[in-house]
Amino acid sequence: MASTYTSNTGIEKIGSGEQAGTWGTTTNTNFDIIDDALNGVLTLTISGNTTLTTDDGTVSNGHHKVLLLTGTPSGAFNLTIDPNDQQKWYFISNNTGQTATIKQGGGSGSTVSMATGTSAIVYADGTGSNANVGNISTDVLGDISPQLGGNLDTNGKNINFGDSATAGTDDTLQFGASQDLKIYHHATNGSFIVDSGTGNLNVGSSQVSVTSPGGLETMATFVDNGAVTLYHDNSPKLATSATGASVTGTLAADTAVTATTSMTTATMNATTVDLGDYTITESAGTLRIAYQGTNKFKLDSSGNLTVTGNITAFGTI
């Protein structure tokens, strides 16, 4: 009984009673074929159309599992899996600078196009002249609903988003069951943090600082149990405290300030100026100056002036 060969890998099955004294050589060749089919890595230098051949009982380029395509072909090329009646699958990396078309048989069935610089898991169905070649996608781009089974580790790399043309549909980081919180950048209008859901947009920290890019200048600080400070050109100008607020520099308004109530705890408002021991108060057309709560000076709307002490003229101030 003569030898036969496996359908897809061409491993020789020695017939009963055959190859007396030489069967060891055949067996060793079979082991080499199996070894290449399981783990073999082959570099193919491509100059043009290339055939992957699986010969029965002989180690050949079509047996290898991993194919590294190199070389400098002048244009796109075909990589043909032969023969067309074998089922095959390969890990292929194309680094030729050209597009590779993977096919089996005459190419009338489906084929796989591999751009340079890409890798793919490619299979052939071995159905003859109309055999089909397909690929098993390992690219996240091919999965329209990728999911994580654990934490995402960036491995020291970045997650990059491009400029968003329409927020919420492209290049946008989204949070919430209804994507209520969005973070994105628009090429013309700048960067956005948008909360369209219920509740407040909360920023929690013992201290929050608003700075220029790189932290070179401070614009505002918010301290837990402390001051809120606003800056101009990296210098503090307005700061809150437990007793009110203080201004560094001049406080100016381009319109008159009016108020219907006085604020006894504020440093200054529309009806009272608090100077520590002295207060200046305007009420119902009467101006009063008081020292430690006792009126010393009063000027009413009729021009009457009342003081509690002496009026000295021509004295030294």
Strands (E), 196-271: 207-211, 218-223, 228-232, 235-241, 244-247
Q: Read off the DSSP letter of residue 214.
A: G
- Reported as type and span, the H/E element at residue 29 is helix 23-39
Partnered with residue 306 across adjacent β-strands are: 298
Partnered with residue 194 across adjacent β-strands are: 182
Q: What is the pLDDT along the chain (317 residues), one digit of tens a residue?
A: 689 999 999 999 999 989 999 999 999 999 999 999 999 999 999 999 999 999 999 999 999 999 999 999 999 999 999 999 999 999 999 999 999 999 998 878 999 999 999 999 999 999 999 999 998 877 666 667 778 888 989 999 999 999 998 877 899 999 988 889 999 999 888 899 999 888 899 999 999 999 998 889 999 999 999 999 999 999 999 999 998 888 888 777 666 555 444 444 434 444 777 777 888 888 888 888 988 888 888 888 888 888 888 887 776 65
Residue 257's pLDDT is 52
Question: For the chain, which residues make up each domain, given as ranges?
Answer: 4-141, 157-197, 204-252, 259-317
Residue 63's pLDDT is 96
Task: Say which residues have a Cβ less than 8 Å from residue 155's Cβ, sequence separation at least 6.
Answer: none
Residue 261's pLDDT is 42
Task: Say which residues have a Cβ less than 8 Å from residue 289's Cβ, sequence separation at least 6.
Answer: 278, 279, 280, 295, 296, 297, 298
Torsion angle in degrees (nearest 10) through CA of 273, 276, 278, 284: 30
Residue 268's pLDDT is 43
Strand, helix or coil for residue 61 = helix
Prediction pTM value: 0.53
